[in-house]
Homo-oligomer: A and B are copies of this chain.
Amino acid sequence: MKTIKNYVEANQQRFLDELFELLRFPSVSADSAYSDDVRHTAEYVAQKLTDAGAENVEICSTAGHPIVYGEKIIDPAKPTVLVYGHYDVQPPDPLELWETPPFEPTVRDGKIFARGACDDKGQFYMHIKAFELMQATNTLACNVKFMIEGEEEVGSDNLGVFVKANKERLAADVVLISDTAMISLDTPSLETGLRGLSYVEVEVVGPNRDLHSGVYGGAVANPVTILAQLIASLHDENNRIAIPGFYDDVVELNEAERNSLNEAPFDEAAYKADLGINALWGEKGYTTIERTGIRPTLEVNGIWGGYIGKGAKTVLPSKANAKLSMRLVPNQDPDKITALFTKHFERIAPAYVTVKVTPHHGGHPAVTPTDSVAYRAAEKAIEEAFGKKPIPTRGGGSIPIVSLFENELGLKTVLMGFGLDSDNLHSPNEKYDIANYFKGIETIPLFHKYFAELS
Contacts and interface: CB of A to CB of B under 8 A. Distances in A.
Interface of A: 29-32, 90-91, 93-94, 97, 153-155, 181, 195, 197, 199, 201, 206-222, 224-225, 227-229, 231-233, 235, 275-283, 288, 291-292, 295-297, 299-317, 320-323, 325, 327, 350-354, 360-361, 395-398, 421, 424-429
Contacts of A322: 224
A297 B217 contact: yes
A153 B288 CA distance: 47
A213 to B, nearest CB: 4
B155 A312 contact: yes
A420 to B, nearest CB: 10
Contacts of A209: 97, 275, 424, 427-429
Given A215-B425, A300-B306, A312-B325, 17 more contacts: A91-B309, A91-B313, A97-B209, A199-B314, A214-B395, A214-B397, A214-B398, A215-B292, A215-B396, A215-B421, A218-B283, A218-B292, A220-B275, A221-B281, A228-B228, A299-B316, A302-B308
B306 A314 contact: no
Contact of A306 (B195, B296, B303, B354): B303
Contacts of A398: 214, 314
Contacts of A299: 213, 217-218, 222, 225, 314, 316
B301 A323 contact: no
B219 A360 contact: no
List the 4 shortest-distance A-B pairs measured between CB atoms, nearest first.
A30-B311, A214-B397, A208-B276, A218-B297
Contacts of A90: 313
A181 B215 contact: yes
Contacts of A311: 29-31, 91, 154, 360
B91 A314 contact: no
Given A214-B396, A426-B213, A302 B306 contact: yes
B218 A313 contact: no
A278 B352 contact: yes
Contacts of A323: 306-308, 312-313
Contacts of A421: 215-216
Contacts of A306: 300-303, 323
29 contacts: A30-B311, A31-B309, A31-B310, A91-B309, A153-B312, A195-B214, A201-B312, A212-B397, A214-B396, A215-B395, A216-B421, A218-B297, A219-B280, A220-B277, A220-B282, A222-B281, A225-B299, A229-B231, A229-B232, A299-B316, A300-B306, A301-B312, A301-B315, A301-B317, A302-B315, A303-B306, A303-B320, A311-B360, A315-B427
Nearest to A426: B212
A300 B219 contact: no
A395 B215 CA distance: 7
A308 B93 CA distance: 9
B280 A314 contact: no
